[in-house]
Chains A and B, each alone.
Chain A
Amino acid sequence: QQQVKQSPQSLIVQKGGISIINCAYENTAFDYFPWYQQFPGKGPALLIAIRPDVSEKKEGRFTISFNKSAKQFSLHIMDSQPGDSATYFCAARVPGSARQLTFGSGTQLTVLP
């Protein structure tokens, strides 16, 4: 129940295209859903996050869509750029849990020039 399932494992997109990464969860107690971006040799960095009382959040080219009834959320990267090439992790948090975040398995995004 603590798992967050992420797909696809890898994604190749042309420059200017839309990248879509999906995550699904079972635990309805999760109350916070961040996306982290990780470049090779670096730690994960918070990209964008959403709470389950909101269906969509947009920050620049990055949008989270959240479907509470389906227990799914997704990251959309509009106008994808080669600089967006990185590994993306979705995550979820159980309120009051000291372990803070449960991560998905990651998606390696490659944006071709």
Chain B
Amino acid sequence: EPEVTQTPSHQVTQMGQEVILRCVPISNHLYFYWYRQILGQKVEFLVSFYNNEISEKSEIFDDQFSVERPDGSNFTLKIRSTKLEDSAMYFCASMLLSGANVLTFGAGSRLTVL
């Protein structure tokens, strides 16, 4: 079964450092998302991406965050200067078509900011 692949599975970084989280969505999917989940809390939307541009972003997704699809397969989330409160599990998700309903999530990247 096709899956969304995320790397790294866990990253520890110092406050103020830049972090790049990588995702390989399902190959024929067109819509891409980042969500995050602070430990013990609900899954929160960060950003959606379609046709090489951001479709929508949440209040969490401030100027410290950026997304990129540098080639035909990878989808990245960059945090420019990490803060302690950025510590969370970050999930990438992809979907084939708008309205297709089935959002497939990756296993997540755990970010720990010290």
Contacts and interface: CB of A to CB of B under 8 A. Distances in A.
B56 A101 contact: no
B55 A98 contact: yes
B95 interface: yes
Which of A43, A44, A45, A101 is packed against the most chain B CB atoms within 10 Å? A43
A41 interface: yes
B103 A103 contact: no
A106 B105 contact: no
Given A89-B43, A100-B45, A34 B56 contact: no
Given A43-B107, A44-B91, A102 B45 contact: yes
Contacts of A100: 31, 33, 45, 48, 93, 95, 103
A46 B93 CA distance: 12
A41 B91 CA distance: 11
Interface band, chain A: 20 to 34
A104 B105 contact: no
Contacts of A98: 31, 48, 50, 55-56
B27 interface: no
B25 interface: no
Nearest to A104: B42
Contacts of A97: 56
A61 interface: no
Interface band, chain B: 20 to 34
B77 to A, nearest CB: 14
Contacts of B104: 46
B45 A43 contact: no
Interface string B90-109: 01010100010111111110
A43 B106 contact: yes
Contacts of B31: 98, 100
A100 B105 CA distance: 13
Nearest to A108: B40
18 contacts: A36-B43, A36-B105, A43-B91, A43-B105, A43-B106, A46-B103, A89-B42, A95-B99, A98-B50, A99-B33, A99-B45, A99-B48, A99-B56, A99-B58, A101-B45, A103-B42, A103-B43, A106-B42
